[in-house]
């Protein structure tokens, strides 16, 4: 059922993991609406990282709606994630001091590797806690924590899945859904992206477009964060009883570990 809000706008749910995204319609107007988006969205809009922010409005139940321009387009295919356009946009984000200042100003958290390990272990089910392979991975990750000076941490998206990359009909690339944004080692985003979508023999070429050299230290950090992300996804799918997706994530993690040995 459509949700009626103040001033005549109608909200039509359009799916997504959070159930907070809508197409908003009013007469001939159409916008992308989301409930309770991060206040960081304004800075991303100004920088052209996300579609233009049109307005923000608090409605009767206390929720805050943000309206962005509605763009016709599509999400990226897996093979398009290895493009130099993706590398260039991610580089702009990671190297933007403006975005870093704005995320800090709105209370963005700085996340360290030990925070991610703690997040995985906190409330972990016995099934996963006693899983031999997952036990071994956690042991390895705890004993090979990557390090990066705090001042070198950057704005990270935190969920770099291809479905969060939008290519408009005007051939403009955007990165959307910033609910997981944090200040972190940029290797977090890089690891998720490269380990999942780019063949290892092409990492160096991709990183040239990003503006970084491939080194043993960077490889270690990227693989560490990619494995940590898989663990967190496994925990999430188990909690949601999405066991098919959980098993797929375990297989992906096994392949990742195998490729590094």
CATH number of the domain enclosing 250: 3.90.1200.10
- Provide the mean pLDDT of the chain: 90
**45 lies in the same domain as 159:** no
Strand partners, 23: 12, 32
The Cα–Cα gap between 195 and 118 comes to 23
**Which is nearest to 165 in space by CA: 88, 257, 74, 64?**
74
**91 lies in the same domain as 171:** yes
Kindly name the residue from 63, 115, 118, 159 that is annotated as catalytic.
159
**Predicted structure pTM score:** 0.88
Comparing 8 with 161, which gets the higher pLDDT?
161
Domain termination site, one of 70, 98, 120:
70
159 is catalytic: yes
How far, CA to CA in Å, does 3 sit from each of 23, 30, 131, 219?
11, 15, 44, 47
**148 lies in the same domain as 39:** no
How far, CA to CA in Å, does 9 sit from each of 1, 39, 59, 67, 223?
14, 22, 11, 11, 45
Domain with 141 in it: 74-260
Domain termination site, one of 46, 70, 94:
70
**46 lies in the same domain as 79:** no
Cβ atoms of 89 and 49 within 8 Å: the answer is: yes
Question: What total number of domains does the chain contain?
Answer: 2
**151 lies in the same domain as 177:** yes
Segment 93-133, tens digit of pLDDT: 999 999 999 999 999 999 999 999 999 999 999 999 999 99
**217 lies in the same domain as 198:** yes
Cβ atoms of 229 and 113 within 8 Å: the answer is: no
Considering just the CA atoms, what is the radius of gyration of the chain in Å? 19
pLDDT at residue 8, rounded to an integer: 67
Least confident of 8-17, 44-53, 129-138, 160-169: 8-17
**172 lies in the same domain as 235:** yes
Most confident of 3-12, 30-39, 49-58, 218-227: 218-227
| Tokens standing for residue 185 | 């080692």
**13 lies in the same domain as 125:** no
CATH number of the domain enclosing 45: 3.30.200
The Cα–Cα gap between 132 and 155 comes to 34
What DSSP line would sit under 159-224, residue for residue?
---GGGEEEETTS-EEE---TT-EEE-THHHHHHHHHHHS-GGGHHHHHHHHT----HHHHHHHHH
15: left (phi over 0), alpha (psi -120 to 50) or beta: left
**43 lies in the same domain as 93:** no
**172 lies in the same domain as 251:** yes
**93 lies in the same domain as 215:** yes
Segment 178-225, tens digit of pLDDT: 989 999 999 999 999 999 999 999 999 999 999 999 999 999 999 999
Residue with tokens 């990492």: 203
């Amino acid at each position: 059922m459509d949700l009626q809000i103040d001033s005549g706008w109608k909200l039509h749910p359009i799916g997504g993991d959070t159930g907070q995204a809508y197409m908003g319609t009013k007469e001939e107007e159409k916008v992308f609406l989301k409930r309770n988006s991060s206040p960081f969205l304004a800075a991303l809009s100004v920088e052209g990282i996300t579609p233009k922010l049109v307005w923000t409005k608090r409605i009767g139940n206390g929720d805050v709606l943000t309206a962005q321009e509605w763009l016709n387009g599509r999400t990226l295919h897996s093979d398009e994630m290895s493009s130099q356009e993706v590398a260039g946009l991610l580089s702009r984000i990671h190297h933007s001091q403006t975005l870093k200042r704005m995320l800090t100003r709105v209370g963005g958290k700085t996340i360290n590797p030990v925070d991610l390990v703690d997040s995985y272990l906190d409330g972990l089910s016995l099934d996963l806690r006693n899983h031999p392979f997952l036990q071994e991975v956690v042991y390895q990750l705890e004993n090979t924590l990557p390090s990066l000076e705090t001042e070198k941490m950057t704005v990270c998206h935190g969920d770099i899945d291809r479905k969060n990359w939008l290519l408009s009909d005007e051939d403009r690339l955007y990165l959307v859904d910033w609910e997981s944004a944090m200040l972190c080692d940029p290797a977090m985003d890089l690891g998720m992206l490269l380990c999942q979508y780019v063949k290892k023999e092409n990492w160096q070429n991709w990183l040239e477009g990003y503006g970084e050299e491939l080194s043993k230290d960077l490889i270690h950090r990227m693989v560490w964060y990619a494995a940590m992300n898989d663990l967190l996804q496994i925990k999430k799918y188990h909690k949601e009883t999405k066991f098919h997706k959980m098993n797929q994530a375990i297989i992906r993690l096994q392949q990742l570990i195998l490729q590094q040995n």
